[in-house]
A and B are shown apart, each in its own frame.
Chain A
Amino acid sequence: QQPVQSPQAVILREGEDAVINCSSSKALYSVHWYRQKHGEAPVFLMILLKGGEQKGHDKISASFNEKKQQSSLYLTASQLSYSGTYFCGTEWSARQLTFGSGTQLTVLP
């Protein structure tokens, strides 16, 4: 079952923060986050495993609330290069990811 992402789109100014949410109705083993720029392939950002850990990657971090089956992606002090579509991929069956419909992030100068 496809995870639900919110918001569908967000527009920021450089330096502003954003949060993208991903929720699933199924018990999850892990959550992946990917970014896709227009006309390109998705690129891996990070994976959150069961256990509710928070991970960071430069100024992009994420958390996973196992009880709620929710993950959030945090982008702080956004840069122009952060623009793109962000997808969460949820894993509840071995080695298979189910992707959300994406959040389109636009960072303006």
Chain B
Amino acid sequence: NAGVTQTPKFQVLKTGQSMTLQCAQDMNHNSMYWYRQDPGMGLRLIYYSASEGTTDKGEVPNGYNVSRLNKREFSLRLESAAPSQTSVYFCASRADRAPYEQYFGPGTRLTVT
């Protein structure tokens, strides 16, 4: 039982390059989330998916797109990376029953130069 997995763990991009961050969960959860965490700050929601086939914008969606490929997988795409997108990205899934906790993946540390 791996929980939430993310790839890659680290990535360095040049401004303007694109990339996709992958996330998968094996807990059969309906809800999945993408957050970014900047130094000294909390987690800010980029996009979320309440169920397979649905996605919604969070607090900071600009510059990102997402795909809920199936119930297990939720990917985050940066079409044209900018230095402001340098951050640690966490994927999470949420239990459908009490206590409704969110399980986080190990994170992807992205640097855009």
Partners in one complex: yes
A99 to B103, CA, bound (A): 15
- A40, A44, A98: the one contacting B102 at CB < 8 Å is A44
Interface mask (A77-109 → B, CB under 8 Å = 1, otherwise 0): 000000000010100001111111110000000
From A43, A46, A99, B43 is in contact (CB under 8 Å) with A99
Which residues of A have CB within 8 Å of B101?
32, 44, 47
A-chain residues with CB within 8 Å of residue B61 when the two chains form the complex: none
Interface size on B, residues (CB 8 A): 24
What is the distance, in angstroms, from A58's C-beta to the closest C-beta of chain B? Answer: 15
The SS class assigned to the B binding surface is: loop
Complex Cα gap A2–B100 (Å): 20
Residues of A within 8 A of B45 (CB): 96-98
Q: Could you list which residues of chain A lie within 8 angstroms of chain B, going by C-beta atoms?
A: 2, 30, 32, 34, 40-44, 46-47, 87, 89, 94-102
Besides A44-B99, A97-B45, A101-B42, 20 more A-B contacts (Cβ < 8 Å) are A2-B42, A34-B102, A41-B90, A41-B106, A44-B101, A44-B102, A44-B103, A46-B99, A47-B101, A89-B43, A94-B50, A95-B31, A95-B50, A96-B45, A98-B45, A99-B42, A100-B42, A101-B40, A101-B41, A102-B40
8 contacting pairs across A/B (C-beta < 8 A)? A41-B104, A42-B104, A43-B104, A46-B99, A96-B48, A96-B58, A97-B45, A97-B102
